[in-house]
Structure 1
């Protein structure tokens, strides 16, 4: 099961992630936050709120109780890598 072992804010709406399989990279969540109109994303547009995430149960969680699936975060990190294209299709991200 995919999980996040480490998460570090690196600026703007980007988070450096280390996954339990040894892979790591930077997820840019700007598009997610500004294009998803659900209210739970609204307060995370303020960068001080966005930076307030913590690692819990293998993913990142914010104080407003929003969490994102590690698979989605993996997709954000590696979406340009053709090696994972089939996996992303299976997960429903492409």
Structure 2
């Protein structure tokens, strides 16, 4: 079952809060997930704060095209719930 992200915002440091279309919501710390060329710009906190929901992808994304799989975000929230 794939559930889309419908809302997201920067919380602090490299933590984002997300809400899914099924009502599940929570914070995800992405500080250990920012590796690889596409994620390099996100290590700059000013750039990281530009996180937004990409409605076509159903997940969070940044202006350079970096995105995080919604399944990964959902699992992270479920583990910490």
Q: Same fold (TM over 0.5)?
A: yes
Which of 51, 54, 73 lines up with 2:52 in the alignment? 54
Could you tell me how far 1:54 is from its partner in structure 2? 1.4
Aligned residues: 78
Q: Secondary structure at 2:38's aligned position in 1?
A: helix
Q: Where does 1:61-76 land on structure 2 (aligned, <5 Å)? A: 61-76=61-76
Summarize deviations over 1:20-72 as a string: whole Å, max 9, x none.
Answer: 11111101100101xx3x11111100000101121112211101101111101
Aligned equivalents of 2:43, 2:12: Cα separation in 1 = 13
Which of 32, 39, 42 lines up with 2:40 in the alignment? 42
Q: Contact between 1:28 and 1:77, CA under 8 Å: does it hold in 2?
A: no
Alignment RMSD? 1.3
- Residue in structure 2 matched with residue 8 of structure 1 by the alignment: 9
Gaps of 5+ in 1: 82-94
Higher helix proportion (structure 1 or 2): 1
Shift >4 Å, 4+ stretches: none
- Residue in structure 2 matched with residue 31 of structure 1 by the alignment: 32
Gaps of 5+ in 2: none
TM-score norm. by structure 2 comes to 0.87
Whose Rg is larger?
A: 1
TM-score norm. by structure 1 comes to 0.76
